[in-house]
Structure 1
């Protein structure tokens, strides 16, 4: 019995010795850790040493180029920048350029309450900066329109770029748009044509894009003040009617549909400098004959618009364009590149390569 007690006392002494040794080792490790942590704490990451103004500029370049609109959340959203560290959050929140372009899409972002909350937040953070805004079909959720209108009302005067479905336009903009310069309208279905409205006063509006069925377009627009117009798709009789009311265009893009009307008066656009045509159907022969554009500098179109005689048709058109400098031929070709360049030596030609084309390169 006494021998067992002596053995236990000896074991206790051994354990105490081991504990003291381990505590000394632990103390050494803790001291080393403190030294390493001190070095880390004193280290300044280069990006965090940049002036706030430079960081803010980098943040702006992180986003899609204005007036393109980033998503409210996700990898391409300025919201992501607020989740990295406190300093970045403070800089991002204080940089109104990051919040001036807004995309509201309840189809890709089904949490309407959160999306509406973020919209209000972005509008506040954008301060007095001009706004670029895009809205999906708000009529799909009738209760949503009044909430959006209330959120937008204090900021309507700052709208510069606006993309919206036609049916939502009267609900979103109830009053003048003094800074609006670019408008994109989309018709989603035939029922959108059942009402008519006039765009509120927009004295600076210069660029309009019309997407969808454009015959008897339900929105009255100040076409005479436009310098840029995109219409797609459009039958010839439709775009001829529209373009007659837009004599000051400098840039025009048309998606041309099949049309049985061949006898149409020509459109005289004396200021037009660039014309881009693409096919939304198969019967586009003769469309180029619709235009009288003496100031034209750039032309873009598929070769099919020049049939049946591509060189001859283009020659007849170019004879009326003293300033034409560049022609872009898109899609499949039957005429070799060299034939175009030889026929029109003073004009620079570019060709969209197409694997289905058997014309020589």
Structure 2
């Protein structure tokens, strides 16, 4: 029995069985057979490519998770700004294995720089992923409400503060009164103003008392500054825009000081 001859349809170019209407049963069966054959061929090609892909072993995926976590740590910048285009968030987008390792490595989330406004859920997410490791946070904001949200969340983890830096409005300095806060790991503190103060300046004391590990302090340009720090513990101190009288008053209390940096020291009174 001979197979029916086919001709191309002038409208769509598909094969037509001779003597049949494009919508006849024989034509439809013939087209279904052609399409099924094409699907089978494509499936076979896909399976072959998948098998070839599965046979490829990427060396980086064969490393132990501990080694991958160590490599990931070197990908994180010292000033980590939450962004999907940089580590650690970028690492979570590569593949499922990398995402699991990144989420299970608290050290990737210990450092954080907040600039401008930031959502509260981002703060809480970052802090929760940092587990119990010491924290290194850098706060740069002119928005008092953002500072309030950050401090309210961060103070719940104050026992893990290791390095903290603040560049904030002078009017918000009152939020840096940590006199009653236990800071057992705090090793370094940096405080500066964003120079946004105008008119009459009301002095707000910056207080840190319960920080037995504090060894380094950097104090920027803050008018009428009033700092209550454990000066006798400090080994490194930076003072900016300060009168020599005020400087000498501080240095008299720094019995363990080894490194001192002064910027724009003058004979003028700092008050």
TM-score category by the smaller chain? Answer: 0.7 to 0.9
* Alignment correspondent of 2:231: 223
Deviations for 1:128-165, whole angstroms, at most 9, x for unmatched residues? Answer: 111112223476228x62x4344224311111111124
Please, which of 180, 189, 202 is the counterpart of residue 186 of structure 2? Answer: 180
* Alignment correspondent of 1:41: 54
Under a length normalisation based on structure 1, what TM-score does the superposition of the two structures give?
A: 0.58
Residues 174 and 200 in structure 1, CA contact (< 8 A), matched pair in contact too: yes
* Alignment correspondent of 1:158: 160
1:80 and 2:82 are equivalent in the alignment: no
1:128 and 2:135 are equivalent in the alignment: no
The total of aligned residue pairs comes to 242
* Alignment correspondent of 2:244: 236
- 156-165 or 195-204, which deviates more: 195-204
Deviations for 1:81-122, whole angstroms, at most 9, x for unmatched residues? Answer: 1122211111100001011112223x2xx3x4xx32121112
Residues 243 and 268 in structure 2, CA contact (< 8 A), matched pair in contact too: no
Q: Name the SS for the 1:203 alignment partner.
A: coil
Alignment of 1:319-334 (within 5 A): none
* Alignment correspondent of 2:71: 58
Looking at structure 2, the residues matched to 173 and 70 of structure 1 have their Cα atoms a distance apart, in angstroms, of 28
**Structure 1 residue ranges without an equivalent (≥5):** 1-6, 262-361
Larger % of helix: which?
1
> What do you get for the CA RMSD once the two structures are aligned?
3.2
Looking at structure 2, the residues matched to 224 and 195 of structure 1 have their Cα atoms a distance apart, in angstroms, of 22
1:10 and 2:24 are equivalent in the alignment: no
Larger RCO, structures 1/2 (Cα 8 Å, 6+ apart):
2
